[in-house]
Amino acid sequence: MAKNTHVGSGGWLAGLGDFGYLLWQVTLNLRFSFRDRKRVLHQLDHFGVNSVPLVMLVGLFSGAIIAWQGAYQFKGMVSLSILGGQIAKVVFMEMGPVLTAMVISGRVGASMAAELGSMKVTEQIAALRSLSIDPVRYLVLPRVLGLSLMMPVLTLFAIFVALLGAFGVATYFLDITYQTFFSSVKTYFQVSDLMGGLIKSLVFGLIISLICCFKGIQTIGGAKGVGRATISAFVYAAVAILASDFLLWIILF
């Protein structure tokens, strides 16, 4: 891995090359995934269990907002009896995966960049190399696998709670009965919509983890550099999520 390169100082082309090299190293180290399963399981717990409350809270209010917005858009044009099915489609395909990815990139991704950035500026990563320990295998691979595998699970939590939030608004504020709401969900539900959303969440997890690990291990400049790396990791991850969301829409739907 290049030691003193940085996207801001080495230029976009050099940074892209470094990122591609990191991706190649992660791919080569995938064969050690089972052997390093304890570190991967630790990251699964760290990223997944600790993120569930925040993801559920965001999902609850997202579903409630979508229900209100849908009712406003449908008013005088379309019967509210189909509101549940349309909310389900939006949550499955778009809002669930994207909002979860944004929340995780802010909570987990920024933390990941800060952790690795601190290790880089305090020369802990250099110390690993001096002990013949591959930093990509030891530090990056468990984080990439952990976040990538947990993103679909977190997205499922967000989807479920978002539907509950939408149902609460529909029932208590829009006078839509339980039977009408969930009958509409059942009518318009398609497995391909849910699977497409989960595939998107898997890709988002891979993007977030790779970008944030890359920014972390490329950190220079002491504590100030760690702060810059943390901010840029979130910004780049957020932009990459939205750009890949557009491309995945074209491919999947």
Closest to 63 in 3D by CA, of 235, 181, 199: 181
pLDDT digits (tens, 9 = 90+) for 195-247: 999 999 999 999 999 999 999 999 988 888 899 999 999 999 999 999 999 99
Residue 209 domain-assigned (yes or no): yes
Categorize the per-residue pLDDT at 7 as very low, low, confident or very high, splitting at 50, 70 and 90: very low
* Interacting residues of 89 by C-beta distance below 8 A, sequence separation 6+: 188, 193
Inter-residue contact 157 to 56 (CB < 8 Å): yes
Residue 238 domain-assigned (yes or no): yes
Categorize the per-residue pLDDT at 9 as very low, low, confident or very high, splitting at 50, 70 and 90: very low
Residue 77 domain-assigned (yes or no): yes
pLDDT digits (tens, 9 = 90+) for 100-157: 999 999 989 999 999 999 999 999 999 999 998 999 999 999 999 999 999 999 999 9
Residue 145 domain-assigned (yes or no): yes
pLDDT digits (tens, 9 = 90+) for 178-195: 888 889 888 888 888 899
Residue 2 domain-assigned (yes or no): no
Q: Is residue 87's pLDDT more than 80? A: yes
Residue 3 domain-assigned (yes or no): no
What range does the domain containing 65 cover?
Answer: 8-252
Q: Could you tell me what percent of the chain has a pLDDT over 90? A: 58
Residue 56 domain-assigned (yes or no): yes
Total count of domains within the chain: 1
